[in-house]
Chain A
């Protein structure tokens, strides 16, 4: 399991979602429709940002892709196979790093290996490599509370990559961080992503973060959650923070805000 994945032809429809709907609660007046008729496909190895106001169902969508939630209608497939329940080839990053406080950083990063029953020796080697990749060398035997918020989130990204998943699902991973740390983490994530070659779906409520990181930005609107627009971001890689002032960036941000204002979802 190399940290750097060997190049292979990207599948154009690596993740395919068709007519996906999700309703919470029993049918009737109490039912809440969280997602309505979502359609999209994602190319292997691409970075997809999903942006939208709270209540637009973006976290629900991510949990369905992870297999943590059932869906009510439609279909969803990963690499040609329909998704039913959780899978071993998905890495999930939560808003709060959710490191287990009684485990050291290394033990936390190795958690997937324990759960999935992987070879522990190889996993340990890989965990150390990943900790190096997220720049946490020397923190292996520290407890999570001894690390800053940004470092904890980097450790949780290393954990999500341990079992070499095909896709990395990130649910507002930097929402709890301060603005400066957040910008730094965006740069880090871009670096980690280009080094690992994973397919990433990143949920965020920050429009600049979505544009800065995404090859594609999915714009979602609430009541009920639907995928309103898909915006290509034609900025070269690696991107740097100066690009946030470029015309392409500004135009994309303008377009996204336009969708929200048109929908009246930012009032």
Chain B
């Protein structure tokens, strides 16, 4: 308030405090604090387990998990007891299933929204299928398609298909009709109306569906591998649990969640490129919707 009365020293003071503030900031950043929290939790885990002498097959100390992780990663890409081989299989299942499932979901969503007759015809069936827990169908799919990668890709596709289908239909339905009239008033073709108005309008919804699909795809791959597979992180977990190698299982959990984080992160990058025009709060609203 009184800064205009003592301009010179005031200016110098501002300049002098600035470096001090930047020096303090890394210690106060949320990232650094979450890292501290992680260290504290890991330490509590390690010493808690040792202090209370919890059996290792129930809850291994953190150091066992770390050792299992290092051993698992210190293997060749084709080693059947290593993490790389099984991670690659699971990742391929997730990615293939995600792309196939969401592509079919999006295409069908477009077709259903463009052909009113189809929407009316299929609406009850989509609603019915949507309420079915898709995981329940997974054993039959393994029975039909065998223990190879194919059945897992099918299960992941099935899980990713529905959220993308449902959100894209919702997105095409939510479009501001004036946008279509604007293009119609210019004698636009149906294709032009779709490309220039409908599809971009529905994109925030479609991305919300892809977000859900990404989370489901990891679930789908692991469940499929639990039911019946020759390789993959789900199989590895089953083998380790049978050997009471709980530390190994925990290491695999870490890898699975890293895959999930990488998937959502990649999706977020694409979204930022495609939906950069949206204000951040709005983008968040559509995701939670």
Contact = CB atoms under 8 A, between A and B. Distances in A.
Contacts of B176: 98
Interface of B: 176, 178-179, 181-188, 192, 196-197, 200, 275, 277-279
Contacts of B187: 85-88, 115-116
A194 to B, nearest CB: 24
Contact of A94 (B182, B186, B192, B275): B182
B179 A68 contact: no
Given A94-B178, A94-B181, A115 B197 contact: no
Nearest to B183: A115
A114 interface: yes
Nearest to A144: B277
A87 B279 CA distance: 35
A68 B279 contact: no
A69 to B, nearest CB: 10
Contacts of B275: 102
B186 A100 contact: no
Contacts of A145: 279
Interface of A: 63, 66-68, 85-88, 90-92, 94, 96, 98, 100-103, 111-112, 114-116, 143, 145, 163
A55 B28 CA distance: 61
A116 B186 contact: yes
Nearest to B279: A145
Given A86-B186, A143-B277, A145-B279, A115 B181 contact: no
B277 A68 contact: no
Given A101-B278, A102-B277, A115-B192, A86 B185 contact: yes
B10 to A, nearest CB: 34
Contacts of A98: 176, 178-179, 182
A103 B179 CA distance: 13
